[in-house]
Structure 1
Amino acid sequence: MIRHAADQLADYRLHLVLIHGGGSYAHPFVTRSGVGGGLRDRSQLRSISETEFYLGQLTRIIYASLLLRNMNPVPLHPMSFATLDKGEVKKFLLDPIRKSLDAGLTPLLHGDLVFDESRGIGVLSGDRIASLIGSKMGAFRVLFGCDVDGVYSANPKNFPNATLIPEVNSENFRSVLSASRSPSTDATGSMGEKVKQAIWLAKNGCECYIFNLREKNALRMILDQTGSIGTRFVPWKKSRKSVKQSPQRA
């Protein structure tokens, strides 16, 4: 999947901020130790170190794939510039991201463990990071790639008759959010978290897509606006500037 996505990004010319999840590189350590709920005792310290180590490994794999395609990524680790308080984002420094984009680099971030002022430590998901950056930096579109074709009426992995929801808007968002809240072993909330963040962005005027990153050319079709893929979240408010008007963010 990494090579497939990198191929589609290789000759894209607008500014991008790339964010990946932890997947099997990080979630098992977080779930097993419970560090997502806070730091309770020293027995959890090893899991924090292991999580950061393996997240770094995954970032380097993605980093190398982008370099091989003549892109200029720069890894930025949220633990170094974000903090939480009782699980909610308290500080999120945007300067490293802005400066990277201004220099012509592609920031590469990931969901991460970050320090929490009340609980010691917590999880800041890649989906939450995407919504923070999208809202604070004026992105006109935020894309959430996953391993299913979009948002369904029920979990398609458990319910084969579930139907794809092609569009989420101000009329149906409550029912879609409810349908997406199926139980998950994902440390960051899986589909429910993606839907929650996409709805929040759409309410604030940013178009979003949840789509299957494994599908051939799906990422590029959305970037180039040459096809309708996955589930589109229609902006509630007046849309942000179009790609032709503002080539600064994608």
Structure 2
Amino acid sequence: MEGGLRKVVLKLGGGLLTNKKGLCSPNIEAIQQSAKTISELIYNGCKIALVHGAGSFGHARAKTWKLSEGKLDQKFHPVDNICSQLEAVNQVRKDMKKLNQILTNELDSLGVQYNVFHPHEWAKGFGPNFEGKLDFLDSDVMSIVHGDVVDDEKQGFGILSGDDLMFRIASEWGDVKSCVFALADCDGIMTHPPENPESKLIPEWSPKMGFGSEHDADHDVTGGIAYKAIRASEISKNNGNQTEVWFVDGRRSERVFDACMGNLTLGTKIL
């Protein structure tokens, strides 16, 4: 169908695209750089399915209102003119559309064609077995999805993470050559948290190796690096040698480019 195009699933982490401190604070420089890398990949023959995270456009509000736990009976104090969980759900959805718009504006400026599919409009449930058809991947242009608050039959609503979207897309799209997670603040999976001076890159990782680094529980409501790595290893296991799975520093555009193109690069290869 795609006549020689290289299928790539790329995730731009929310921590890469946004500033952690502050609410709904975009990292414009990182967004512009990422858009340019995507444009170059398409020019070099890649067909991309793009996933992006939430960062400061989602995690803080989701944590305050306990959105990952679904509809709760407890009382919440109003914050930023939001008085209920349902209002918070709607606000996070709006905020995610806003972040997505900032990214797509940059893609527009580079002439990149794409279609956006906001998960709360087509998906239900969360985790890797969420409900929702991925037939939009057959589009002739790049498909874009993102982490989102989605409806759920059992608990009313919940958070569908970008990592679960990565897993399903990479597993179901077919003939995916590269699956790349572009991280915010490290070279890949590290022996210790990135801020630790003794932290070193783990060039290859498998689940039996465990973790030396901890995710930022103050911000991340979707499981952090450990959850990403487990999902990534499941992609590698399901797809076998067909798909190379990488964690790379998203601030280094040449590494993102090389990982997507199947070139050797600096990062963590997921086994």
User: Is the pair's TM-score, using the shorter chain for normalization, greater than 0.5?
Assistant: yes
Aligned: 1:96 with 2:136: yes
Per the TM alignment, residue 217 of structure 1 is displaced from its structure 2 partner at its CA by: 1.6
Aligned: 1:151 with 2:189: yes
Per the TM alignment, residue 88 of structure 1 is displaced from its structure 2 partner at its CA by: 6.0
Decide which of 49, 54, 57 is 2:95's aligned counterpart: 54
Decide which of 8, 12, 15 is 2:47's aligned counterpart: 15
Cα deviation, 1:69-96, whole Å, max 9, x if unaligned, reads 11101110111221117x5634121122
Aligned: 1:209 with 2:246: yes
Contact 1:19 / 1:126 at 8 angstroms: preserved in 2? yes
Identity across matched positions, percent: 27
Contact 2:177 / 2:262 at 8 angstroms: preserved in 1? no
Distance 1:88 1:96 in 2: 18
Per the TM alignment, residue 56 of structure 1 is displaced from its structure 2 partner at its CA by: 0.4
Per the TM alignment, residue 181 of structure 1 is displaced from its structure 2 partner at its CA by: 4.8
Contact 2:247 / 2:269 at 8 angstroms: preserved in 1? yes
Decide which of 50, 54, 57 is 1:25's aligned counterpart: 57
Q: Residue 115 of structure 2: SS of its match in structure 1? A: strand
Distance 2:61 2:216 in 1: 19
Per the TM alignment, residue 97 of structure 1 is displaced from its structure 2 partner at its CA by: 2.5
Contact 2:178 / 2:262 at 8 angstroms: preserved in 1? no
Contact 1:201 / 1:207 at 8 angstroms: preserved in 2? no
Distance 2:150 2:177 in 1: 27
Per the TM alignment, residue 15 of structure 1 is displaced from its structure 2 partner at its CA by: 0.9
Contact 1:82 / 1:89 at 8 angstroms: preserved in 2? no
Per the TM alignment, residue 227 of structure 1 is displaced from its structure 2 partner at its CA by: 3.2
User: 1:123-202 alignment to 2 at 5 Å?
Assistant: 123-138=159-174, 139-147=176-184, 148-157=186-195, 159-169=196-206, 173-176=207-210, 178-182=211-215, 184-185=217-218, 186-202=220-236
CA distance change for structure 1 residues 23 and 144 in 2, over 3 Å: closer, same or farther?
same
Contact 2:216 / 2:224 at 8 angstroms: preserved in 1? no
Per the TM alignment, residue 153 of structure 1 is displaced from its structure 2 partner at its CA by: 1.3
Per the TM alignment, residue 134 of structure 1 is displaced from its structure 2 partner at its CA by: 0.3
Per the TM alignment, residue 113 of structure 1 is displaced from its structure 2 partner at its CA by: 0.8
Distance 1:17 1:182 in 2: 25
Structure 2 counterpart of 1:188, one-letter code = T
**Aligned counterpart, 1:121:** 157
Distance 1:92 1:63 in 2: 23
CA distance change for structure 1 residues 88 and 15 in 2, over 3 Å: closer, same or farther?
closer
Per the TM alignment, residue 180 of structure 1 is displaced from its structure 2 partner at its CA by: 4.5
Contact 2:114 / 2:141 at 8 angstroms: preserved in 1? yes
Distance 2:256 2:214 in 1: 25
Q: Residue 61 of structure 2: SS of its match in structure 1? A: helix
Contact 2:128 / 2:165 at 8 angstroms: preserved in 1? no
Q: Could you say what the CA RMSD is over the residues aligned between the two structures, in angstroms?
A: 1.8
Structure 2 counterpart of 1:43, one-letter code = S
Contact 1:83 / 1:89 at 8 angstroms: preserved in 2? no
Structure 2 counterpart of 1:213, one-letter code = G
**Aligned counterpart, 1:6:** 35
Distance 2:109 2:148 in 1: 25
Q: Residue 32 of structure 2: SS of its match in structure 1? A: helix
Q: Compute the TM-score of the two structures, normalised by the length of structure 1.
A: 0.84
Structure 1 counterpart of 2:169, one-letter code = I
CA distance change for structure 1 residues 47 and 151 in 2, over 3 Å: closer, same or farther?
same
Cα deviation, 1:117-162, whole Å, max 9, x if unaligned, reads 11111111001100111001122321101111100112122x2202
Distance 1:210 1:226 in 2: 13
Per the TM alignment, residue 43 of structure 1 is displaced from its structure 2 partner at its CA by: 1.8
CA distance change for structure 1 residues 33 and 232 in 2, over 3 Å: closer, same or farther?
same
**Aligned counterpart, 1:219:** 256
Per the TM alignment, residue 182 of structure 1 is displaced from its structure 2 partner at its CA by: 4.6
